[in-house]
Amino acid sequence: MRRDRGQATVELALSLPLVLAVLLGAVQVTIVVLAQLAVTHAAHEAARAAAVAADAAGAAQTAARGALTLPGLSVETVTGDRRVRVRLSATVPTDVPLVGALMGDVQVHATASMPLEE
C-alpha cells in the first residue's frame, strides 16, 4: 500500500505537458479563426464601399485597411459585368509560445462580391 502513495503525483507530472500543449494549440487555432472572420468581414465592407464609390479600387483599399490591421494585407478589386469582386489576403502570425514555433504563419483569404450601384 505504501508503494502507491506518489502514483497520482507522477501521473499528473507526466500528463501536464501534454495538456498544456493541447491548450496552447486551441488558443492558436482560435486566433486564426478570429482572423479569418475579421478578413471575411473586411472583404464584405470593402466590396460594399467599392460598389457605391466612383473609384472602386481606391474605396476597397481604404475600407479594407480601415477594418484590418493584419500584416501582409493585399486587396484585389475586379470590376466587370455590373459587379465588383474584392479578394483580401492577410498573414496571421503564430505567436503563441511552443505551438507558434511549430507552425508557420497562416495565410487567410476571403472574397466578397456586390452589384455596382449607379
15-57 pLDDT, tens digit each: 999 999 999 999 999 999 999 999 999 999 999 999 998 888 8
Mean pLDDT of the chain: 89
Residue 1 has pLDDT above 70, yes or no: no
Cα–Cα distance between 64 and 110 in angstroms, integer? 11
Stated pTM of the model: 0.83
Q: 31: closest CA among 95, 88, 97, 74?
A: 95
Q: How confident is the model at residue 68 (pLDDT cuts 50, 70, 90)?
A: confident
- pLDDT over 90 percentage in the chain: 59
Cα–Cα distance between 48 and 84 in angstroms, integer? 9
Phi, psi of 72 (to 5 degrees): 70, 30
Write out the three cell numbers for 19.
495538456
